[in-house]
């Protein structure tokens, strides 16, 4: 039994370095996501003001003719242009709605990953050094215990930050997707009624 316990102890301790590496990787990914999120927010603010101003004033065809220029980052503009290019094909318009949902789900998947993986890695990084910290406490090696506790708390904080970034971006992106789907469905339904 002692052999199995020792094997589990060394196995779990061996996972600490990969856990920290993954935590750092996802922390960098989360920081990059914040930058991209801010850029998307600025672009959406400009584009959506124009879209919301125009959508109620004119018919759908006129609305599609007055789409603002996009910088390639706006999925909404991209799909509105695709719908405009297929005005006589009802099935293609419905497919484009489905394609947008798939693309949006892929985008949301990045935030969902951070929400789940950050706290998991943080918890692993907390629990793994607790074993050596308890051994240090039992043997009177306070320095070793303090070091391991420092690692445990640091990994917890980083994991929670990763999860928080993922959660906040996920909440906002879900609202964006719902608003975009509202516009796309309105345009598609209006075009379908005119056939």
CA distance linking residue 80 with residue 97, whole number of Å: 10
Which of helix, strand or coil describes residue 74? coil
- What pLDDT is attached to residue 1? 77
Give the CA count within 13 Å in the CB-facing half-sphere of 76.
27
Tokens 């599609």 sit on residue: 64
Count, residues in the chain: 195
Q: What H or E segment, with its residue span, contains residue 89?
A: none
Local confidence pLDDT in tens for the 195 residues of the chain: 788 878 888 888 889 999 999 999 999 999 999 999 999 999 888 888 888 777 877 777 888 877 877 666 788 888 888 888 886 788 898 999 999 999 999 999 999 999 999 999 999 999 999 988 888 888 988 998 999 999 999 999 999 999 999 999 999 999 999 999 999 998 898 888 876
CA distance linking residue 50 with residue 61, whole number of Å: 16
Q: Number of structural domains, the chain? A: 1
Q: Which domain holds residue 149?
A: 2-193
DSSP 135-172: HHHHHT-HHHHHHHHHHHHHHHHHHHHHHHHHHHHHHH
- What pLDDT is attached to residue 71? 63
Which of helix, strand or coil describes residue 71? coil
Which of helix, strand or coil describes residue 87? coil
Residue 130 CB neighbour total at 10 angstroms: 15
CA distance linking residue 104 with residue 50, whole number of Å: 22
Evaluate whether 159 touches 119 at the Cβ level (below 8 Å). yes
Contacts of 36 (CB under 8 A, 6+ apart): none
Q: Which two tokens stand for residue 69?
A: 């220029």
Tokens 């850029």 sit on residue: 39
Note the pTM of the prediction, 2 decimals: 0.86
């Amino acid at each position: 039994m002692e052999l199995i316990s020792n094997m589990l102890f060394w196995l779990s301790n061996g996972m600490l370095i990969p856990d920290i590496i993954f935590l750092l990787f996802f922390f960098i990914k989360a920081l990059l996501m914040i930058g991209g999120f801010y850029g998307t927010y600025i672009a959406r603010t400009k584009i959506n003001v124009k879209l919301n101003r125009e959508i109620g004033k004119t018919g759908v065809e006129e609305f599609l003719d007055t789409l603002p220029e996009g910088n390639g980052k706006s999925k909404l503009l991209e799909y509105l242009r695709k719908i405009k290019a297929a005005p006589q094909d009802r099935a293609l318009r419905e497919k484009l709605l489905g394609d947008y949902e798939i693309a949006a789900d892929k985008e949301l998947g990045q935030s969902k990953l951070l929400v789940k993986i950050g706290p998991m890695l943080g918890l692993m990084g907390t629990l793994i050094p607790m074993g050596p910290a308890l051994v240090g406490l039992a043997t009177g090696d306070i320095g070793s215990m303090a070091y391991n506790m420092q690692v445990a708390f640091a990994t917890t904080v980083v994991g929670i930050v990763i999860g928080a970034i993922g959660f906040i971006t996920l909440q906002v992106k879900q609202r964006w997707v719902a608003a975009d789907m509202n516009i796309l469905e309105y345009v598609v339904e209006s075009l379908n009624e005119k056939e």
